[in-house]
Amino acid sequence: MSQWEQAVDQLSPAEYPDHAVRVERAVREIIATLAGHPVSDVPEAGAKSGDVDDERPRRNEALRRVRAGRVAQNLLAEAVTRCAVEDAADAVWLGASLADLGEAVGSTRQAARKRWPDLGRVHRVRRWVAGHADDLVTVLRMVLDEAPGYAAPQGSADLLDRTVRALDRSLWAAVADRHSGSVCDPDTGRPVRWRRLAEVVDGELRTLVDLAVPTTARSDTALAAGRGVLAHYDAVVAEPAAASA
């Protein structure tokens, strides 16, 4: 018996029919919708010996549902895969390790790493951002506070101004996340706190540091601090794939 069959068996006799009916109802609704789409067209089966009343058209409708069922099966498999990828990423942003993911699907950390190859990087970034959040906010504020001391390369003044404003918005959003009482977005329910802070570092901070030219000692120090943060971030991202997660 597979682990999934064992999991289904953990439903009580009262729970199993209820969940099974809910799933079947949803599947039948999808099939009914697809049956009316040209993708479910089937060759007309023609008249059969012994046909009575509306048997022939009803037979063709049933054949369309058979075709629609196969289409639905593929669509559902794709949807389940997409949901699993999204949920696995969310779990890692919430602190789960690859070993935890392996346990959740009844496999090993190595199997989870192979199944979701990008999540080792996410795990390392999340761990680093969560462990250095205070320092990151301090550096981001420093870089932002010294913005009047930055100059832009010729023709890039508007870009520098937009980048500073973008960093300001993103920083305050990240600070608001830290005081929201939840690590998740209240509208989507998905984890946002550490992901947003990582995006500020790898996005607005990187753009600003690459673009801005210091014109004062303080602005030079701020940009140097920003480059230091980015060096640490890049080192974390570049850790070997075999790094613990």
Dist CA 20 CA 42 (whole Å): 29
Task: Indicate whether 52 pLDDT > 60.
Answer: yes
- Give the chain's mean pLDDT: 91
Q: Which amino acid is at 49?
A: S
Residue range 58-75: average pLDDT? 95
Residue range 129-140: average pLDDT? 96
pTM of the model: 0.81
Task: Indicate whether 73 pLDDT > 60.
Answer: yes
Per-residue pLDDT at 1: 44
Q: What is the pLDDT of residues 224-234, one digit of tens each?
A: 999 999 999 99
3 pLDDT band, cuts 50/70/90, is low
Cβ–Cβ under 8 Å, residues 202 and 141: no
Dist CA 180 CA 172 (whole Å): 12
Place of tokens 């010294």: 146
Cβ–Cβ under 8 Å, residues 137 and 171: yes
Strands (DSSP E) found in the chain: 150-151, 213-214
Query: How many Å is the Cα radius of gyration of the chain?
Result: 27
